[in-house]
């Protein structure tokens, strides 16, 4: 009934009574039945007609609201008061937790892709170091007659033979890693995280403000702010990483590890907020 009364007050149009007196329908609904609104000459039938007009307008408004479920339930669907429409409803409030849940899995996957790409470099460096332990092959020799003698295979110890096997295994593994195209995939997923993560972080705070008229400083909000900053800092290191700066690479990995830890720690507080959304809002 509160929603209906508010809707009537906001949407009711003026009702013109007998003579030149004009009142709003919302006021006429609050006017006690039987009260004469306009004065008329003694013995005239104008007061009865005026009262009849008010009653007719009241019934018309009640019929309009009762036949429109959207207007009747508007106030119940929004937590703050309804002035922002569907942006205060449950549907918009659930966008933030739903998509950020997907971004948590995207963060884990992007980290996996990054580590696989890093392994391409580290395996290559390991192969280069192991090759130093293998004696170089004797180059082919040319005889006095102009014939080319086959290159003599270098003599290797048992340890060097094992090293040679390990080099072959690492070489095959590196080829598979390169074929996985992990560098491009990691860059693509990192870009998606930055774009959607920052957007959803801003959307979450804005939605809370629209629903309640304020923000709630606390662990969830502070962690979200830190995660957003870490996304930006990790992305800012990419140019130096592309130049081969190892310190930038290590810092990039460290920042993203802290980011994932905060993201994971934020899940319980986020679920508490989702529970409050279901408690204090309605569909849509």
Q: Over the stretch 210-268, which tens digit does the pLDDT of each residue have? A: 877 788 888 899 999 999 999 999 999 999 999 989 999 999 999 999 999 999 999 99
The mean pLDDT of the chain is 74
Backbone angles phi, psi at 134, to 5 degrees: -95, 130
Supply the range of the domain harboring residue 199: 86-280
Residue with tokens 């509160």: 2
Pair 140, 230 in one domain: yes
- Closest C-alpha to 189, from 109, 98, 255, 99: 109
Residue with tokens 């990039």: 252
Strand partners, 24: 14
Pair 37, 133 in one domain: no
User: pTM to 2 decimals?
Assistant: 0.60
Percentage above 90 pLDDT, the chain: 33
DSSP letter, residue 16? E
Q: Give residue 139's pLDDT.
A: 58
Residue with tokens 């180059």: 139
179 pLDDT above the threshold of 60: yes
Average pLDDT over residues 97-118: 93
Q: How far apart are CA 249 and CA 256, in angstroms?
A: 11
Residue 154 confidence class, pLDDT cut points 50, 70, 90:
low
Pair 161, 35 in one domain: no
Q: Where do runs of H (alpha helix) occur along 132-181? A: 158-179
Q: How far apart are CA 168 and CA 162, in angstroms?
A: 10
Q: Give residue 149's pLDDT.
A: 59
Average pLDDT over residues 98-122: 93
Residue 73 confidence class, pLDDT cut points 50, 70, 90:
very low
Residue 65 confidence class, pLDDT cut points 50, 70, 90:
very low
Please return the burial class of 158, using the count of CB atoms within 10 Å of its CB with bins 0-12, 13-18 and 19+. Answer: exposed
131 pLDDT above the threshold of 50: yes
Pair 131, 196 in one domain: yes
Strand partners, 149: 141
Residue 17 confidence class, pLDDT cut points 50, 70, 90:
very low
Answer whether the bond into residue 284 is a cis peptide, omega within 30°.
yes
Alpha-carbon dihedral 240, 245, 248, 253, rounded to 10 degrees: 110
Pair 226, 146 in one domain: yes
Neighbours of 51 (CB within 10 A): 19
For 66-103, letters b (16+ CB in 10 Å) and e give eeeeebebbbebbbbebeeeeebbbebbbebbebbeeb
Percentage above 70 pLDDT, the chain: 61
Pair 63, 91 in one domain: no
Q: How far apart are CA 54 and CA 250, in angstroms?
A: 78
- Closest C-alpha to 113, from 195, 184, 199, 24: 184
15 pLDDT above the threshold of 60: no
DSSP letter, residue 87? G
Pair 156, 43 in one domain: no
DSSP letter, residue 137? P
CB 17 within 8 A of CB 38: yes
Q: How far apart are CA 122 and CA 109, in angstroms?
A: 20
Q: Give residue 87's pLDDT.
A: 66
Pair 179, 109 in one domain: yes
- Closest C-alpha to 11, from 76, 89, 88, 68: 68
Query: Count of alpha carbons within 13 Å of 260, Cβ hemisphere only?
Result: 13
Average pLDDT over residues 5-10: 42
Pair 57, 92 in one domain: no
Pair 181, 266 in one domain: yes
Pair 137, 73 in one domain: no
Of 77, 99, 132, which marks where a domain is finished? 77
Average pLDDT over residues 18-32: 42
138 pLDDT above the threshold of 60: no
Lowest mean pLDDT among 107-111, 181-185, 214-218: 214-218
Q: Which residue has the higher pLDDT, 50 or 109?
A: 109
Of 77, 101, 131, which marks where a domain is finished? 77
Q: How far apart are CA 66 and CA 70, in angstroms?
A: 10
Lowest mean pLDDT among 96-100, 133-137, 159-163, 196-200: 133-137
Total count of domains within the chain: 2
Of 77, 95, 110, which marks where a domain is finished? 77
Backbone angles phi, psi at 21, to 5 degrees: -75, 135
Q: Give residue 256's pLDDT.
A: 95
Pair 234, 275 in one domain: yes
Average pLDDT over residues 30-36: 45
């Amino acid at each position: 009934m509160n929603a209906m009364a508010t809707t009537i007050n906001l949407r009711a149009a003026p009702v013109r009574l007998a003579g030149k007196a004009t009142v709003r329908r919302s006021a006429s609904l609050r006017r006690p039945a039987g009260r004469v609104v306009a004065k008329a000459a003694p013995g005239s039938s104008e007061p009865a007609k005026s009262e009849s007009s008010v009653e007719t307008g009241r019934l018309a408004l009640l019929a309009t609201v009762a036949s429109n479920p959207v207007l009747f339930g508007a106030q119940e669907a929004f937590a703050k008061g309804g002035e922002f429409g569907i942006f205060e409803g449950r549907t918009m409030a659930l966008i933030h937790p739903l998509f950020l849940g997907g971004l948590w899995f995207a963060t884990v996957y992007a980290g996996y892709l990054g580590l696989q790409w890093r392994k391409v470099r580290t395996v290559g460096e390991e192969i280069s170091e192991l090759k130093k332990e293998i004696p170089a092959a004797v180059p082919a020799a040319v005889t006095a007659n102009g014939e080319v003698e086959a290159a003599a295979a270098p003599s290797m110890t048992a340890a060097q033979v094992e090293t040679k096997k390990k080099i072959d295994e690492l070489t095959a593994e590196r080829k598979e890693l390169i074929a996985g195209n992990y560098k491009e995939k990691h860059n693509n997923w990192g870009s998606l995280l930055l774009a959607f993560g920052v957007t959803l972080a801003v959307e979450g705070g804005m939605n809370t403000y629209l629903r309640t008229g304020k923000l709630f400083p606390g662990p969830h909000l502070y962690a979200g702010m830190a995660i957003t900053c870490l996304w930006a800092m990790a992305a800012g290191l990419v140019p130096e990483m592309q130049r081969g700066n190892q310190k930038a690479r290590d810092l990039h990995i460290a920042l993203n590890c802290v980011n994932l830890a905060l993201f994971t720690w934020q899940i319980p507080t986020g679920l508490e907020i989702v529970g409050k959304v279901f408690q204090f809002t309605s569909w849509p």
